[in-house]
């Protein structure tokens, strides 16, 4: 183990000092906790992005230079700590670009707090740099992504001020997801490389000090004819008791001629006692799962040629899974396992077809609530939606955030959340740069912070102005977009 080497990045860190709890007069307050979210700071597939532990909520997100930043909110004192730089993303650039096509945006952090209070982050890679060695579970296939999947842990429990690197996970990773079991076992799931790679997990039984070798769960595979490759996007979370659930979608991936097609929805779960897997009906599965096997054993919804994208999955008091996914241009749909079959997927927000994301709380078999972002119609709104009849009908309960514009993003629910701090949300970008305001939302709306504590990017903006950074010319930006067609969402 070694302490994090800040290198030249720290010398160029432009925060001008961290703002610590209690450092400002608590007068006028803002509805956001910092303005230094950068690019695409968070997503539901990099999760958890925060966790509540012993009276504080800890938050991780992508900040300047695409680095991993952290904040902490003390619920008793209502005071904030941070943002503080936790880890350096090797894919970041200095000075910060002002054109989002210059960013990779896949190295954002996942966070967890272990049973002893140490805070863990995994971040910093989009498949891993080929110079790091051979990827035993995938191929770069010319996609040209990089970085290094990095695991860091706080030097002290419940303290975000200093960090150390633990060289105990594969460097080839994308979309890290932590799952911690009741007995303290930690599973780190991720895609082991770029598109054409297996989804794997590594397991730790000593609070993340060591991890087992990667175990493949979802298999990438070249089809018998042509250049098409079977690939996946998956979402893992703790289920009932000693189980882990996953919902996933299929990605037909080819290179060259890559497309962003996403199809179908699938489900299975792991039994933590022996790390075996089964489908919703309880039939044992052989892993790693291939496309053909998944179609036979774990298919929820056959989308045909329609696009589907990952959502989240939770279980009710009987262990039956409830799955939300995004259909078409991004319409959230819901289905659940009745004990013998999957219900017909239903659109949660009627008449809306794009720009939706979020997470859900399963109160019972019939009673489910969703906290959904809807960024359609040139307006960003986060609202509660609810069903009391098992998903047949949905009604809007309450809007807790609403502003004109677009481009907002939302993470998955905070692990072990309290009702006053449930999810992290980023507002849309301000024209001229890529920084965003970061918001912690509770059941009734944003958690506030004194105005004097929330601004952290002015020095970054000054540097951008001095450097003359400008968006790429239209023709160059179009060329970049064409070259980046192989990128993930």
Asked about 293 being catalytic, the answer comes back as: no
Catalytic residue among 47, 106, 126, 258: 106
Catalytic residue among 61, 175, 201, 233: 175
Burial 366-398 (b: 16+ CB within 10 A, else e): eebbbbbbbbbeeebbbbbbbbeebbeebeeee
Question: In whole angstroms, what separates CA 311 from the centre of its chain?
Answer: 11
* CA dihedral sign of residues 270, 275, 281, 282: negative
Is beta strand 56-62 parallel, antiparallel or unpaired with respect to 186-191? unpaired
**Cβ atoms within 10 Å of 359's Cβ, excluding its own:** 25
| Spatial distance between the Cα atoms of 314 and 309, rounded to a whole number of angstroms | 17
CB proximity list for 226: less than 8 A, separation 6 or greater: 254
Given the structure tokens 């018998």, which residue do they identify? Answer: 224
Task: Count CB neighbours of 102 within 10 A.
Answer: 18
Active site residue 145: no
- CB crowding 63-90: b at 16 or more within 10 Å, else e: bbbbbbbbbbbeeeeebbbbbbbbbbbb
CA–CA dist 148, 320 (Å, integer): 36
- Which sequence positions are flagged as catalytic? 106, 175
């Amino acid at each position: 183990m070694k302490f994090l080497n800040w290198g030249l990045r720290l010398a160029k860190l432009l925060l001008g000092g961290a703002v610590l709890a209690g450092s400002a007069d608590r007068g006028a307050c803002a509805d956001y906790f910092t303005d230094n979210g950068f690019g695409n700071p968070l997503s539901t597939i990099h999760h958890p992005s925060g966790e509540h532990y012993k009276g504080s909520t800890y938050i991780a997100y992508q900040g300047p230079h695409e680095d991993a930043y952290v904040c902490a909110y003390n619920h008793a004192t209502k005071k904030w700590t941070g943002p503080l730089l936790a880890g350096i993303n090797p894919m970041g650039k200095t000075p910060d670009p002002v054109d989002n096509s210059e960013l990779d945006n896949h190295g954002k952090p996942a966070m967890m707090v272990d049973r002893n209070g140490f805070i863990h982050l995994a971040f910093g890679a989009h498949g891993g740099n080929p110079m790091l060695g051979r990827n035993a579970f995938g191929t770069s296939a010319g996609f040209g992504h990089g970085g290094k999947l990095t695991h860091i842990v706080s030097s002290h429990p419940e303290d975000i001020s200093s960090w150390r690197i633990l060289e105990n996970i594969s460097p080839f990773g994308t979309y890290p997801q932590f799952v911690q079991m009741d007995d303290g076992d930690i599973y780190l799931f991720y895609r082991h490389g770029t598109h054409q790679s297996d989804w794997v997990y590594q397991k730790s039984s000593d609070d993340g000090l060591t991890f087992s070798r990667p175990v493949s769960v979802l298999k990438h595979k070249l089809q018998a004819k042509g250049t098409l490759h079977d690939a996946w996007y998956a979402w893992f979370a703790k289920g009932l008791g000693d189980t882990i659930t996953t919902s996933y979608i299929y990605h037909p991936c080819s290179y060259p001629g890559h497309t962003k097609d996403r199809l179908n929805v699938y489900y299975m779960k792991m039994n933590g006692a022996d790390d075996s897997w089964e489908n919703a009906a309880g039939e044992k599965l052989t892993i790693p799962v291939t496309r053909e096997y998944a179609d036979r054993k774990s298919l929820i919804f056959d989308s045909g040629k329609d696009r589907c994208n990952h959502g989240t999955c939770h279980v009710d008091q009987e262990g039956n899974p409830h799955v939300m996914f995004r259909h078409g241009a991004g319409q959230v749909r819901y289905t659940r396992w009745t004990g013998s079959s999957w219900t017909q997927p239903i659109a949660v927000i009627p008449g809306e077809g794009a720009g939706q994301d979020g997470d859900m709380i399963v109160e019972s078999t019939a009673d489910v609530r969703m906290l959904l972002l809807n960024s359609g119609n040139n307006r960003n709104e986060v609202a509660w939606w609810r069903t009391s009849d098992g998903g047949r009908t949905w009604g809007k309960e309450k809007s807790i955030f609403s502003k004109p514009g677009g481009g907002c993003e939302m993470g998955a629910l905070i692990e072990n959340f309290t009702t006053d701090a449930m999810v992290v949300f980023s507002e849309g970008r301000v024209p001229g740069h890529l920084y965003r305001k970061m918001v912690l939302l509770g059941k009734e709306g944003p958690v506030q912070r004194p105005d004097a504590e929330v601004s952290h990017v002015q020095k970054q903006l000054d540097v951008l102005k001095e450097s003359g950074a400008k968006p790429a010319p239209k023709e160059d930006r179009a060329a970049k977009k064409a070259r980046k067609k192989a990128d993930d969402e």
